[in-house]
A and B are shown apart, each in its own frame.
Chain A
Amino acid sequence: MAITVVEVRQLARLASLAVDEAEAQRLAGELQAIVGYVEQLSQVDTAGIAPVANVAGLSSVLRPDVPGPMFATAQVLANAPARNEVAILVPKVVER
């Protein structure tokens, strides 16, 4: 199955990743080659095989619900590209 530039643009929307025309063209070809290579998995008979998500055999690991120290607000805000004293600033998302 061919990966088209239209499909690359749809992936860009899903991944929130801007892409220009030249990169979309190049990616379509590169992704096609990699997905073509991955297609070999269809040769493997996996009927009745349960998919493996982790090899440690762990599920729903919980730790004791004990309060502990957390980062101070100032420490968290320090890495934000736009901030005031108490919050991270973002462009307006609600029009009124």
Chain B
Amino acid sequence: MTESITAIAAAVNGGRSARNAVEHSLHAAERDTLNAIIRVHRPRAVAAADVVDARVRSGERLPLAGVPLVIKDNLCLTGAEVGCCSKILAGFIAPYTATAVARLEAAGAVVVATANMDEFAMGSSNETSCRGPVRHPLDPARVPGGSSGGCAAAVAAGIAPLALGSDTGGSIRQPASLCGVVGAKPSYGAVSRYGLIAFGSSLDQIGPFAADVAGAETAFRAMAGHDPLDSTSAAHSWAPVDQTIDPRAALRGLRVGWCPAHVAGLAPGVRARLDAAKSALESAGARLVEVELPHERFAVAVYYVIATGEAASNLARFDGIRFGHRASDPKDLGDLYARSRAEGFGAEVRRRIFLGTYVLSTGYYDAYYKKAQQVRALIVRDYQQAFASCDVLLGPASPTTAFRRGEKTADPLQMYLSDVFTIATNLAGVPGVSVPFGADERGLPVGMQLQAALGDDARMWQVAAGLEALAR
């Protein structure tokens, strides 16, 4: 197990060389056996570590001093290849750095490597990547979850203490749950999306993976805040968690909502851990409140209309003209577009472009897209009503623990249902975090999800720290 983010930052701020911390991670990334890492940025990382050392020597104290960072392959880093693990972006070099990555670097973090992912973040098992599947750190025959499977596996395997992923319908929280690490999707608008290659613009949010809540929260605070380069970025200040309060003590009197509807269909091992989390919270002085999200059961259907509609529009820019793969010997411009896209996009991405094109097409728009946006409004209202009677919502992050590779690839709909507990969070824009809470009968990790009201991220982090303390 690698050192925690807090320990590394304290040591580097105290005079230990950042180069030393970064070298450990580079070494691990170069010897990755999980296919979690697709690109190592050694020369850049060594130079960046030296910059951190110089800053510390000049008297700066940095919250992430020398902390090695792995980024998902949909986040831009100046001068480095970025490809969403898709053939269509082969050879693309980012001309700028994503705001979230730049802010972590400003806080002292050092990008060491790029992580594998499902192609264009479309998948729940990291099996749609053009770079091949990622293996689960505890069982190579199982998946790490997706779409940020490489990030989750890299943190779980100790390759780096911090990873940056993106979450459109659960792509941070579900793999965090399956790999046994902390993974959070902040409130929509909290973290700038500038430099994140878009999937579903009204749903996408960047968030951290770490071994512990304190590390993930430190990274969140370093990234959060308004960015004029993202017009959906929120003008909100993001309060830190009060470190002087014992996280267990903060649970006293807390109203923890849970949905009885979530219990049906859970794998037995996940259900047992949910029950354990509920009783642990109650013993710590929290009050459990039954809540209902009456339209949550429609969330997966709403999502596969809205997310694919947005994706079909966003992915129209990949046309073989300005960047990426171009088909050879086109007979005309239309043929160039159609064949470049068919050759560049994998099967799942093509499927979603077809679906998104269908729901946006004349004659179907009202029946599908507009209808889905209306049901989304009801889901937003459900959450607002739920948070009138509770402070946070507790539930499983995933209905199962890590499943076997190939188990769900034959049936796209079954794969989509892996995200049944995480999708509504994105539709409502609220923050959600998966916190490791023990394991099932096979020893595979189980994550509990905590959600809070839109903008109430500080409370989510506070309760997550409490739940983490109860799990230990």
Q: Which residues of A contact B (CB under 8 A)?
A: 3, 8, 11-12, 14-19, 23, 27, 30-31, 33-35, 37-38, 40-42, 44, 46, 49-56, 58, 61, 63-64, 71, 75-76, 78-82, 88, 90-91, 93
Contacts and interface: CB of A to CB of B under 8 A. Distances in A.
A23 B348 CA distance: 12
A10 B312 CA distance: 15
Interface residues of B, number: 69
B145 to A, nearest CB: 21
Interface of B: 91-93, 95-96, 188-189, 202, 228, 231-232, 234, 295, 298, 300-302, 304-305, 312, 316, 319-326, 330, 332-339, 341-342, 345, 350-351, 353-355, 357-359, 361, 367-368, 370-378, 380, 412-413, 416, 427-429, 454
28 contacts: A8-B354, A12-B338, A15-B354, A16-B334, A16-B341, A17-B342, A17-B354, A31-B354, A35-B355, A37-B304, A38-B301, A40-B301, A41-B298, A41-B372, A44-B295, A44-B375, A44-B378, A49-B374, A51-B376, A52-B376, A55-B380, A56-B188, A56-B232, A56-B429, A58-B189, A61-B231, A76-B95, A79-B92
Nearest to B229: A63
A83 B380 CA distance: 47
Contact of B358 (A11, A42, A49, A56): A11
A81 B320 CA distance: 7
A66 to B, nearest CB: 10
Per DSSP, chain A at the interface is loop
A80 B323 contact: yes
A11 B301 contact: no
Given A76-B95, A78-B95, A93-B332, 8 more contacts: A16-B334, A27-B350, A30-B351, A42-B371, A56-B189, A63-B228, A88-B322, A91-B330
Contacts of B412: 30, 33-34
B358 A81 contact: no
Contacts of A63: 228, 231
A75 B323 contact: no
A37 B299 CA distance: 12
A19 B295 CA distance: 36
A3 B361 CA distance: 13
Contacts of B353: 15, 17
Contacts of B95: 71, 75-76, 78-79
Contacts of A93: 332-333
Nearest to A7: B358
A27 B354 contact: yes
B413 A34 contact: yes
Contacts of B305: 38, 41
Contacts of A61: 231-232
Given A33-B413, A38-B305, A49-B377, A81 B341 contact: no
A63 B188 CA distance: 19
B371 A81 contact: no
A64 to B, nearest CB: 8
Nearest to B92: A79
Contacts of B361: 11, 14
A38 B304 contact: yes
Contacts of A81: 320-321, 323-326
A61 B341 CA distance: 32
A18 B339 contact: yes
B228 A11 contact: no
A44 B96 CA distance: 44
Contacts of A90: 321, 333, 336
Contacts of B298: 40-41, 44
Contacts of A38: 301, 304-305, 359, 368, 372
The 4 A-B pairs at the shortest CB distance, nearest first, are namely: A55-B429, A51-B373, A46-B374, A18-B342
A35 B358 contact: yes
B455 to A, nearest CB: 10
